[in-house]
Amino acid sequence: MALVSGTYTRYDAQGLREDLSDMIYDISPTATPFMSGAGIGPKAKQTLTEWQTDSLAAAADDNFQLEGDDASFTTPSATARVGNYTQISRKTVVLSDTLEVTDKAGRRSEMALQTMKYAKELKRDMETSCLMAQAGSAGTVGGYRKLASLSAWVKTNASIGTSGGNPVYTSGVPAAVRTDGTQRAFTETIAKAVIQAGYTAGAEFSTIMVGPFNKTKVSGFAGIATRNFDLSNVSPRPTAIIGSADVYVSDFGTMRVIPNRFQRERDGWFLDWNFVSLRFLRPFKRVNLAKTGDADKKMLIVEYTLQVKQEASLGIAADLTTS
């Protein structure tokens, strides 16, 4: 069809109003399963926060004594003193005063929008720091103080790939992380080995936490996995195809299976939430920074650490394939 000569269209017109929605859409993930499960422990009082661990002697199969015999003594074993350093994390924003007073779509205050976003980003950064491969460091005047991540702690209940190695420490703050080994597919055999080692050590795992790819591997385990989907409140009743495992029923207990976007995909964690917590030297705080010109400055800051109360209560399936 041809356009009639002289037709005035919106391509010619001036002064057309924009059609800009007052909604801002963002699907960036903000769930932090590890921090949510670990919860908050007692307030930290120093940049190095410490606690003690202990264990019983192995059960003896020869504890029989002579009638009337004199007593003999074994020197008690001392507790182990371990700890972790607090780490400072922050986000900063500076906005011109003009921007703050202009009329904007989707928000009244640019500062409120940006600080809200940064608060969510800071929480994601903390989750990542707790689960990445990071050794503890006391820091220096010109060097960063860093917390020892979960990867620097867990050494007792571990299944590792060829050439991999567990962290080595007996006291203090773990100063080195595990050595990554040759990656291998996550199998039920690997999971069972970690769970059995944990049971033998006294652990009571309640959660298996894995990356997105290895969540699909757990769902493919051939053993006793409960696949749950509640359709009781759905009407009309649909047909559901169940393809994921929410709960794993092992010989040594039932465990929830949860994915975590912010952990290393190569690590599969076996957790007892009673033995991990976050401790804060300085809780989340928004600070107004000094005004030095025609702009407004804010800082979001937190100082925190990871407390692993007893590493033998946790487990890891390390060196898993990631795709």
- Residues 6 or more apart in contact with residue 34 via CB below 8 angstroms: 127, 130, 131, 150, 209, 260, 262, 263
Answer whether residue 22 is part of any domain. Answer: no
Answer whether residue 10 is part of any domain. Answer: no
* Structural domain total, the chain: 1
Question: For residue 221, what are the β-bridge partners?
Answer: none
Task: Collapse the DSSP code of 120 into the 3-class scheme (helix H, G, I; strand E, B; otherwise coil) and give the result.
Answer: helix
pLDDT in tens, 235-292: 555 555 556 668 899 999 999 999 999 999 999 999 999 999 999 999 999 999 999 9
Answer whether residue 141 is part of any domain. Answer: yes
Q: Which two tokens stand for residue 162?
A: 């060829």
- Please say if the pLDDT value at position 224 is more than 90: no
What is the pLDDT at residue 15?
A: 84
pLDDT in tens, 126-143: 999 999 999 999 999 999
Answer whether residue 113 is part of any domain. Answer: yes
Prediction pTM value: 0.88
Answer whether residue 28 is part of any domain. Answer: no
Which residue, among 193, 227, 205, has the nearest Cα to 318 in the 3D structure? 193
Answer whether residue 202 is part of any domain. Answer: yes
Confidence of residue 234 (pLDDT cuts 50, 70, 90): low
Which residue, among 269, 295, 287, 260, has the nearest Cα to 207 in the 3D structure? 269
Answer whether residue 66 is part of any domain. Answer: no
- Please say if the pLDDT value at position 3 is more than 90: no
- Residues 6 or more apart in contact with residue 185 via CB below 8 angstroms: 217, 320, 321
Range(s) of the domain holding residue 116: 33-51+80-230+239-314
What is the pLDDT at residue 238?
A: 56
Q: Which two tokens stand for residue 94?
A: 């500076």
Q: Which two tokens stand for residue 230?
A: 């509640």
Which residue, among 153, 176, 179, has the nearest Cα to 164 in the 3D structure? 179
Confidence of residue 8 (pLDDT cuts 50, 70, 90): confident
Higher pLDDT, 235 or 299: 299
Length of the chain: 323
DSSP 186-224: --HHHHHHHHHHHHHHT----EEEE-HHHHHHHHT-SSS
- Please say if the pLDDT value at position 299 is more than 80: yes
Answer whether residue 57 is part of any domain. Answer: no
Higher pLDDT, 23 or 190: 190
